[in-house]
Amino acid sequence: MSGHSKWATIKRKKGATDAKRGKIFTRAIHEVVVAVREGGGGDPNGNARLRFAIDRAKAVNMPNDTIDRAIKRATGELKDGAEQQELTYEGYGPGGAAVLVEVITDNKNRTVGEIRGAFTRAGGALGENGCVGWMFKKKGMLTVKKSDIGEEQVLEQALEAGAEDVAGSEEHWEITTDPTAFHTVRMSLEKSLKIETAELQHIPGTWVTLRGKEAESMIRLVEALDDLDDVLNVWTNSDIEEGSVE
């Protein structure tokens, strides 16, 4: 069992504020679109990732017809606007920390301009494709409350289901999987456990510790990027030193 995932912990804390930003439906629609395109089509019976995305959309009270339209747009069955593209932008944040930004957009020029502006205002710089992506590995990450299951039990169940590792954070067990096994592991574990979060993440191989003004600037950068309508996820290898930011 390894040490806890720093950025996964930061993302969960930040996630509590997402509901206050009016972006919750946009995020849910994006997840449905990506699930259709990457998970194997628009039939939830044959696409485990889409089933999970639909469950998440319904959990935030998204109407069924909105979900259906998102699926039809992703499959090309419904053409009611400009075609959306899935893109990843890479750059350097304060202190030289690496930043990956995943977006879905129908206007690449608008999106890249907004992202470049956010980097510049925070003292960072948008880079070329590949400049920092090599620092990250894509992994599946599932979390389960520690209060629901003990260490030995969660480790045994996770490994039997095909997971790679289990780590402990303050309140959760964090279960890591290979991306290709992510949905199989999730379906296996949810038969006996309540999965709190489940997503594909970009995990950095090394971390950059930030303090003081650099840490504050990085937090502002992540929040500014996250507030952009086209942004789906922001990943960074920055480790904000505890107590260095008020």
User: Is 50 exceeded by the pLDDT of residue 53?
Assistant: yes
For residue 48, the domain's CATH number is 1.10.10.200
Q: Are 239 and 208 in contact (CB under 8 A)?
A: yes
Poorest-pLDDT segment among 8-12, 93-97, 133-137, 220-224: 8-12
Mean pLDDT of all residues in 198-202: 85
**213 and 194 within one domain:** no
Mean pLDDT of all residues in 144-170: 91
Q: Are 231 and 101 in contact (CB under 8 A)?
A: yes
Residue 193's identity, in one-letter code, is L
Give the integer Cα–Cα distance in Å for 132 and 134: 5
Give the integer Cα–Cα distance in Å for 195 and 143: 6
User: Is 60 exceeded by the pLDDT of residue 135?
Assistant: yes
Check residue 232 and give its pLDDT. 82
* 209 vs 9: which has the higher pLDDT: 209
Structural domain boundaries, residue 154:
135-204
What letter does residue 93 receive in the DSSP assignment?
-
Dihedral pair phi/psi, residue 197, rounded to 5°: -140, 150
Q: Cβ–Cβ contacts within 10 Å for residue 231, how many? A: 24
Last residue of a domain, one of 52, 75, 98: 75
Of the candidates 201, 188, 200, 198, which has an alpha carbon nearest to the alpha carbon of residue 162? 188
pTM, two decimal places: 0.77
Q: Domain count of the chain?
A: 3
What letter does residue 158 receive in the DSSP assignment?
H
Percent of the chain with pLDDT over 90: 39
